[in-house]
Amino acid sequence: MPDGEPGMLMVKGPHVMRGYLGQPDKTAEVLKDGWYVTGDMGTIDRDGFITITGRLSRFSKLAGEMVSHVAVEEKLQQAAGLTDTVFVVTGAKDEKRGEKLVVLYAGWDGKVDDLLTRMKELGVPNLWLPGRSEFHRVDAIPLLGSGKLDLKAVNELAAKLSGA
């Protein structure tokens, strides 16, 4: 990738594992031509410094572009004028486009149309705007015991609610 362009972070060298013991399928998922696919998205500047921008599992490929779920969540929070996290964004299968953004939210009583209008006013690219019908109110955002986002539960809930 050119300097500063986002992409998948892959590493290679004698320090990288050779694979998962007795699990060739799992090994094939993470090792590509000797490169270890970290699952991290990031950029490398011209001086060789790496900036991790997120996890592949927190991105969706829409119209050929990688869209960060975290970046969309931040814009949703900003548009709603909130400091507490009430939105979580994930991707779900879409028959027409391959993938779509789905928003789960809890603890917010605003109007989705107003939120989308405010996001446009903030200059959020159209590609980053979830469809009106892809906002789903939930009782609570799924969290792990550690307090971190339960991505598996979020993805399953989003798929169920969006009909994916």
CA–CA distance, 2 with 44 (Å, rounded to integer): 8
Q: Are residues 157 and 110 in the same domain?
A: yes
Q: What pTM does this model have?
A: 0.70
Domain count within the chain: 2
For the chain, list residues with pLDDT below 50: none
CB 143 within 8 A of CB 149: yes
Please write the tens of the pLDDT for every residue from 95-107. Answer: 877 789 999 999 9
CB 130 within 8 A of CB 102: yes
CATH of the domain at 38: 2.30.38.10
CA–CA distance, 136 with 158 (Å, rounded to integer): 8
CA–CA distance, 109 with 89 (Å, rounded to integer): 17
In a domain, 68, yes or no: yes
CB 71 within 8 A of CB 88: no
CA–CA–CA angle 140, 144, 145 (5° rounding): 110
In a domain, 53, yes or no: no
In a domain, 21, yes or no: yes
CATH of the domain at 143: 3.30.300.30
Q: What is the pLDDT of residue 152?
A: 85
Q: What is the pLDDT of residue 2?
A: 80
Q: Domain range for residue 127?
A: 58-162
- Listed residue (12, 6, 54, 58) closest to 31, CA to CA: 12
Please write the tens of the pLDDT for every residue from 113-126. Answer: 999 999 999 999 99
Q: What is the pLDDT of residue 5?
A: 80
